[in-house]
Amino acid sequence: MPINITMPALSPTMEEGTLAKWLVKEGDTVKSGMIIAEIETDKATMEVEAVDEGKVGKLVVPAGTEGVKVNAVIAVLLEEGESAGDVKALAAAPAKAEPAAAPKAATSVPAPSPTLVTPAKAGAQTSVAVMERPGGVRIMASPLARRIAANKGIDLKALKGSGPHGRIIRRDVENAKPGAAQPAPGGAPMTADGLILPQILDDRVYAPDTYDLKPLDGMRKTVAKRLTQSFMQVPHFPLNIDIQLDNLLESRAAINAAAPKDVKISVNDLLIKAAALALIDEPDCNASYTDKGIAYHRHANISVAVAVEGGLITPVIFKAEGKGLAEISEEMKDLANRARERKLKPQEYMGGTFSISNLGMFGVRSFASIINPPEGMILSVGAGEKRAVVDEAGAIVARTVMSVTLTCDHRVIGGAEGAKWLAAFKRYVETPEAMLL
Amino acid sequence: MSTPYDLIVIGSGPGGYVAAIRASQLGMKTAIVERESLGGICLNWGCIPTKALLRSAEVLHLAKQAKSFGLKIENPSFDLEAVVKRSRGVASQLSNGVTFLMKKNKIDVIEGTARLEKGAPAPKVIVKGKDGKDTPYTAKHVMLATGARARDIPQAGLVADGKLVWTYREAMTPDVMPKRLLVVGSGAIGIEFASFYNELGADVTVVEVMDRILPVEDAEISAFAEKDFRKQGLNILTGAKVENVKAGKNVVTADITTKDGKKETKEFDRAILAVGIVGNVENLGLEALGVKIEKTHVIVDGFGRTGVPGLYAIGDLTGPPWLAHKASHEGVTCVEGIAGKNHAEPFDASNIPGCTYSHPQVASVGLTEAAAKAKGYDIKVGRFPFIGNGKAIALGAENGLVKTIFDKKTGELLGAHMIGAEVTELIQGYVIARQGELTEADLLHTVFAHPTLSETMHEAVLDAEGRALHI
């Protein structure tokens, strides 16, 4: 029996991916563990390993195919003694992604519809004349629009009709992507899950020859979706504080002077450590708002925002509170490098409890990041710069100061908790020796 | 210089006068220019008078069949002059009707021949009146609805002389009843005249260069029609060429090359040229304005815009299908576009019914089976013959066929093709189904009145599902 190779789910959020590249061709022999393909998911480019042994009978999904649903058959492997003829039986099975989504639209139909057709022949399809919105409002859509929507797995609720009296007609569904909505005049277009869609590209606004269009890849889409969701759904507030860096810089110089040659601790490494310790000191702040309750995390898993070409990714330093600076430094370098190559594994960029985003190296003085859900807080780190400071004695002195902004999810973190965390963080940064305790 | 109009329409055919009415409804100060008779070709020399002629032929046909209905009519016959007179009367009644409609809608009718000159915001309209004097008019918008006329093909020797070699115009006001008639071209116009003269007893020969008559129709319908016409005594030569149609003193000669390559010179009393039409683009000053013209047709977008500010074109002038209802709809679309109506929809050519009023009638909408396949659709085809329909049998009109073509994937009615009694009235049901984006399921569930010919439409849908009941 030939073996189906299916689209693997490479992360819990992955619903579909792009089959970027085949590393084998039909007729190749593969062994278990061999890398056979590269898949671009919503976050990264991943390698797919063969689980079974055999000969590649057929590559069902060609390289470069976008939107391949998880579990769709992407290739067929022949076992010993099998021929290409055996492939046919299997390949006839589900290869394309769309039928899987088809039943979606039908699930919102109330009760068995009296207008369902019972065809004598299997050829005829059913049609549903009336679909109800949850509120009981009838969705006006042409029968053909309904059929096409069902075929493509498009939720009519998400569409706005351009026909007479706002009726949804063929053209409204024909261009819509499954789960997406059609641009509509007036009113912000919304997706089925209530997210506002990106701006519609309109020739009347930007003439077609005045820009270069780069298609959205998986990462760009995910970043856009998650940040939109976060910014709109998380009640967030910022807290600012100035922190003097002179002690930290001195300590860093001393540490690096004493460290083995290949170890070089960055300011950022120190800030990761300080943030982790502050989270352990203020456990109320190491929290996530979830549907089941507030999750108070036992460890400080620090996500660090890394800009990569085409987006942004946040690899995680797990249990940073217990790690030494050298360890943090080394891990960070490795994660950042692999992030830029889009080679991170999902478990390396998921599971953070707190994020740090640092734009200090660009000279940014102060900014407020968008929360990285389900984390409760994100720290935005500005540039360390010489500023005039009034010291304890009342004298104006030059000190290296950085401004940081803590953006908090108000559902889990109050102003006072956030402030206490900032105070703790400030203490660690201004008195780095405390990190040794 | 007169007061400026919001819209001046040039040409008062079914495209122009309907556009003018719509403009008036939308509050535009509107004028319409006509060089001949209000209503244009359609009312005066096309659709309407030919329908009057064909009705006479149909009544004659029924009278001849009287016996089969249990009636006694001795030697039914006709008076050609009276038949033509009736047809002219119908045309004139309708033209007067348009005069009334213009008045009712406060549309100024300007008699004369228009030409355009550069102007802003729209070209200036100069009308040469019957007295030969030029009067300039200005408007914010100018719509060309000048229509089209029969095409000559001089290089093949196909030129009408208006005496023995006719266009549709002379063909509907015949001076004599030709004994031997040549009809060149088997589109709707050719076939309608062929059908009319055949019914009146002429020996009619139809020559079509394509491999079948009514070439824009579904091949099955063409074949059905050809078989029926042959039975009625029509000579049909398909895949054949006509050249050198020459008018002698009393007879016309023509070189006909048949499918098998045999060339013969044949003699007829009259010939009708129905080899297509050309747009009336001349003497309007379009070249100077920079209007884009391709093969005698003005190039426009979905709202009739020509690309010259303030200048629009609609109807036959903008290309096929050359149908009155296409022109009317384009006219309305164009005016609504000008008025900036919220729900103005650009013109959509995919859902225009085509009708041929021969005996039997032919009507269709959407894609033919071949076109649907060529477009890559996976299709379901349904057929139902009139012989399975009670009403058709009661009418003595059991010769007919309805054919439906559905997209298997979506259930969309891609096309419907009909031949038989009154199908030109029936086709509208399918046109509405297509416009409303109904699927096969909706049509299956529609209740059709019994006994009616329209039940054949239902059955043809059922048959596409393998569920036809009365066959």
Q: Which of A121, A143, A169 shows the shortest C-beta gap to B441? A: A143
What angle (nearest 5°) sits at the alpha carbon of residue B70, between those of residues B66 and B72? 55
Q: Which residues pair with A398 in a beta bridge?
A: A388
Query: Which residue numbers of B are catalytic?
Result: 450
What pLDDT, on the 0 to 100 scale, is given for residue B239? 96
Phi, psi of B225 (to 5 degrees): -65, -45
Chain A positions touching B412 (Cβ under 8 A) are: 144, 147
Cβ neighbours around B175 below 10 Å, total: 11
The residue of A96, A113, A116, A117 whose CB has the most chain B CBs within 10 angstroms, and thus the best one to mutate to test that interface, is: A117
CB contact under 8 A, B444 and A117: yes
CB contact under 8 A, A125 and B467: no
CB B35 within 8 A of CB B126: no
B465 CB within 8 Å of a chain A CB: yes
From residue A238, how far is each of A205, A285, A302, A406, A408 by CA, in Å? 35, 14, 19, 5, 6
What pLDDT, on the 0 to 100 scale, is given for residue A240? 95
Q: Is the ipTM of this complex over 0.95?
A: no
What pLDDT, on the 0 to 100 scale, is given for residue A199? 65
CB contact under 8 A, B445 and A126: no
Query: Which residue numbers of A are catalytic?
Result: 410
B410 CB within 8 Å of a chain A CB: yes
What pLDDT, on the 0 to 100 scale, is given for residue A17? 81
Chain A residue nearest residue B414, CA to CA: A144
Helices B47-64, B188-199: inter-axial angle, 10-degree rounding: 40
B445 CB within 8 Å of a chain A CB: yes
* Residue-wise DSSP of A86-132: HHHHHHTSS-SSHHHHTHHHHTTS-SS-TT----SSTT-----S-EE
Distance CA B40, CA B94 (A): 11
What pLDDT, on the 0 to 100 scale, is given for residue A322? 93
Distance CA B471, CA B469 (A): 6
Q: Which segments of chain B have a pLDDT < 70? A: 1-3, 342-343
Q: Which of B343, B438, B466 shows the shortest C-beta gap to A144? A: B438
Size of interface A-B (CB pairs under 8 A): 58
Chain A positions touching B444 (Cβ under 8 A) are: 117, 124
Residues on A contacting B at a C-beta cutoff of 8 Å? 115, 117, 119-121, 123-127, 129, 142-145, 147-148, 151, 164, 169-170
DSSP single-letter state for residue A198:
P
Distance CA B277, CA B275 (A): 7
Chain B positions touching A121 (Cβ under 8 A) are: 465-467
Neighbour-count burial of B155, counting CB atoms closer than 10 A to its CB (0-12 exposed, 13-18 middle, 19+ buried): exposed
What pLDDT, on the 0 to 100 scale, is given for residue A195? 53
B380 CB within 8 Å of a chain A CB: yes
What pLDDT, on the 0 to 100 scale, is given for residue A186? 41
What pLDDT, on the 0 to 100 scale, is given for residue A315? 94
Q: Which of B410, B411, B466 shows the shortest C-beta gap to A121? A: B466
Chain A residue nearest residue B461, CA to CA: A124
The residue of B432, B437, B461, B467 whose CB has the most chain A CBs within 10 angstroms, and thus the best one to mutate to test that interface, is: B437
What angle (nearest 5°) sits at the alpha carbon of residue A166, between those of residues A161 and A169? 45
CB contact under 8 A, B343 and A124: no
CB contact under 8 A, B380 and A123: yes
Residue ranges and CATH numbers for the domains of chain A are 3-86 (2.40.50.100), 104-213 (no CATH), 220-436 (3.30.559.10)
**What are the structure tokens assigned to A114, written together?**
């009296």
- Which amino acid is residue B205, in one-letter code? T
The residue of B439, B440, B446, B461 whose CB has the most chain A CBs within 10 angstroms, and thus the best one to mutate to test that interface, is: B439
CB contact under 8 A, A144 and B440: no
Our CA-based measurement puts residue A62 at a distance from the nearest CA of chain B, in whole angstroms, of: 22
Ordered strands of the A35-40 beta sheet: A45-49, A35-40, A16-22, A65-69
How does pLDDT run along chain A (437 residues), one tens digit per residue?
677 888 877 766 677 788 888 888 888 888 877 788 888 776 677 777 777 788 888 888 888 888 888 888 888 888 777 766 655 544 444 444 333 333 333 333 333 333 333 333 333 333 333 343 444 567 889 999 998 888 888 888 888 888 887 889 998 898 787 654 444 334 444 554 445 555 677 777 888 788 888 877 777 877 888 888 889 889 999 999 999 999 999 999 999 999 888 889 999 999 999 999 999 999 999 999 988 899 999 999 999 999 888 788 899 999 999 999 999 999 999 999 999 888 888 889 999 999 999 998 899 999 999 999 899 999 999 999 999 999 889 999 999 999 999 999 999 999 999 999 999 999 999 999 998 87
